[in-house]
Amino acid sequence: MKKELTLTLVFLAVLLLSSICIIISFPKENEYQTTADEGGYYRQATKINEQGLRGFETLAKEYIEKPDLQVYPSPARIGYLFLASLALKISYSFHALSMLNVLFFILQVLASFFFLRRHWGIKVAVIVGILICASPLSWALSKRALSDPALFLFLSLSLFTFIDFLRRNKMKSCIQFILVFAFSILIKENAILLLPFFGLMLLVHKFYYKKDINIFSMGAMIIGPLVVCITAYMLVLGSLHNALEIARIINKLSLATPPPYVVRYHSGPWYQIFIDLFLLSPFVSIFCMLYVGYYFIGTERKDEPLNLLLLFSIYFIMLYSFLPKNVRWAIPVDMIFRICAGLLIIHLYETINAKIRIRKTIAITLMFLILYTNVKSYYNYFIRYDIYDPTSFNLLVAERVFFGVGELPLEESYLRMSLYYYNKGWYFDCIKEAQNAIIIKPDCAEAYNNICSSYNQMKDWDHAIEAGKKAVEINPNLQLLKNNLNWAINQKELGK
């Protein structure tokens, strides 16, 4: 009992230290991406705070009527927007949204710890819990003002409650799964793509493994989350018509030709997820592959929770191969990688034929390698280069795979691509490229000017003025910058 308490305190100390590291690396308030998803969530949550629940209906109507708003997250993400609006009640700042994400991070790590302790014991829970605490991807997303940490928390809870239901077949786990998975969909609508996996696993366990699963429970777990979401949309978005219109727009956008930004940065082979996770956590990836290989070669493969986690990974990777590639959407797979890596460390500790001191030294050395490389990756990618969108391209740029010695400076390459998109009339992509240039060179007046010009073309005068003022502040002697800013100010005053 004393040993278990000691191990738990060690885990909690690492969790506390991880949370502090995230908080002290928050971007400055003016460094959040106000023209990207962060700004979209902030404005939507602010509207809800101003108007109460009626704000959701206002957001829905604006999203349907104004195509320029459809490049931002849809107001169908009512779960996250509601939580974000609560955070903004405490403090009207981007930092409030980041603090909310730190809370999600802590809750997700704790949920993983209790799940692991219940199924594998305290040693596995502590080792894997520490590895999950030190995920550079989780740290990076938790310091931003995005919805991914909230989605990760509720998807993890969905997976954990689903596994508990299959093992214990209790109505309590069934109800918990319906509620947390429905909330996952309300946080990010594409979470619904994971529903076929849960349905398939229910069928396999019912008819192949002959488990005594009630047909009513099966139907409730498949249909229940959809019923909860539809009801929530009807109540919150004002009408079923608004919900269906938003769904139609989302479907239309998903079937449309992808914008240049997605084509350039989110394209790649199905195995790109493995490359990205290796870049972020090389030893976790290696240890995970070794353990999975050992697990499937071995004769005993009766660890039901692990089987389900691995099957979930396979399904997710198959699904991922048809979607735009971005490792930040694959955090559940990162967690499963860490579980497998932790199981390898425990297995080596328990099976190596050596003195206890030698076995402890080996285990501690392996943990140190993982923790050191994770912290180094976080610093390199998300502090030093301040990567906002962890696509393969941006990770490889940080590794100097692209833009080597003798080529264009990185910010100049982004600027040229930004200008190319502007001339093509792809203004949102022009803004994205200009933002990438600003990440590399914060005092890049030309990048702010491109953003200002793009918003002028989209008649978004407020954002154009904001970017134009920054451009003129950096370089007050360039007349072109003043012209673009003055145009935005004049058009806003004329009410155009």
Range with lowest mean pLDDT among 31-35, 223-227, 320-324, 339-343: 31-35
Q: What is the per-residue pLDDT for 405?
A: 37
Q: What is the pLDDT of residues 272-291, one digit of tens each?
A: 999 999 999 999 999 999 99
**CATH number of the domain enclosing 458:** 1.25.40.10
Average pLDDT, the chain: 90
Please give the tally of structural domains in the chain.
1
**pTM of this structure:** 0.84
Query: Bigger pLDDT: 406 or 357?
Result: 357
Amino acid at 448: Y
Per-position DSSP letters for 242-304, written without gaps between them: HHHHHHHHHHHHHHSPPPHHHHHHS---TTHHHHHHHHH-HHHHHHHHHHHHHHHHSS----H
The secondary structure of residue 73, as a DSSP letter, is P
pLDDT tops 90 at residue 120: yes
Please give the structure tokens belonging to residue 120. 């594998």
Average pLDDT over residues 105-118: 97
Judge whether 457 lies within some domain: yes
Region of residue 27 (left: phi > 0; alpha: psi -120 to 50; beta: else): beta
Judge whether 371 lies within some domain: no
pLDDT-based confidence at residue 374 (cuts at 50, 70, 90): very high
From CA 238, how far away is CA 55, in angstroms rounded?
10
Query: Bigger pLDDT: 258 or 142?
Result: 142
pLDDT tops 90 at residue 79: yes
Nearest CA to 140 out of 27, 263, 11 is that of 27
Please give the structure tokens belonging to residue 137. 């991807």
pLDDT tops 60 at residue 402: no
Query: Bigger pLDDT: 402 or 185?
Result: 185
Q: What is the per-residue pLDDT for 43?
A: 93
Average pLDDT over residues 201-217: 90
Average pLDDT over residues 473-492: 88
Q: What is the per-residue pLDDT for 404?
A: 42
Judge whether 414 lies within some domain: yes
Average pLDDT over residues 119-126: 94
Query: Bigger pLDDT: 388 or 181?
Result: 181
Q: What is the pLDDT of residues 408-455, one digit of tens each?
A: 556 777 888 888 788 878 888 889 889 888 877 888 999 999 999 999
Judge whether 464 lies within some domain: yes
Please give the structure tokens belonging to residue 164. 């508990």
Judge whether 469 lies within some domain: yes
From CA 264, how far away is CA 394, in angstroms rounded?
11
Judge whether 439 lies within some domain: yes
From CA 31, how far away is CA 280, in angstroms rounded?
23
Q: What is the per-residue pLDDT for 324?
A: 85
Nearest CA to 138 out of 323, 274, 335, 319 is that of 335
From CA 463, how far away is CA 420, in angstroms rounded?
21
Amino acid at 367: M
Q: What is the per-residue pLDDT for 448?
A: 93
Q: What is the per-residue pLDDT for 401?
A: 55
pLDDT-based confidence at residue 299 (cuts at 50, 70, 90): low
Judge whether 138 lies within some domain: no
From CA 466, how far away is CA 464, in angstroms rounded?
5
pLDDT tops 80 at residue 263: no
Share of the chain above pLDDT 90, in %: 61
- The range of the structural domain enclosing residue 465 comes to 410-494
From CA 367, how far away is CA 29, in angstroms rounded?
35
Range with lowest mean pLDDT among 37-51, 195-209, 212-226, 478-492: 478-492
Average pLDDT over residues 166-189: 94
Q: What is the per-residue pLDDT for 232?
A: 94
Judge whether 467 lies within some domain: yes
Nearest CA to 76 out of 66, 87, 63 is that of 63
Query: Bigger pLDDT: 407 or 137?
Result: 137
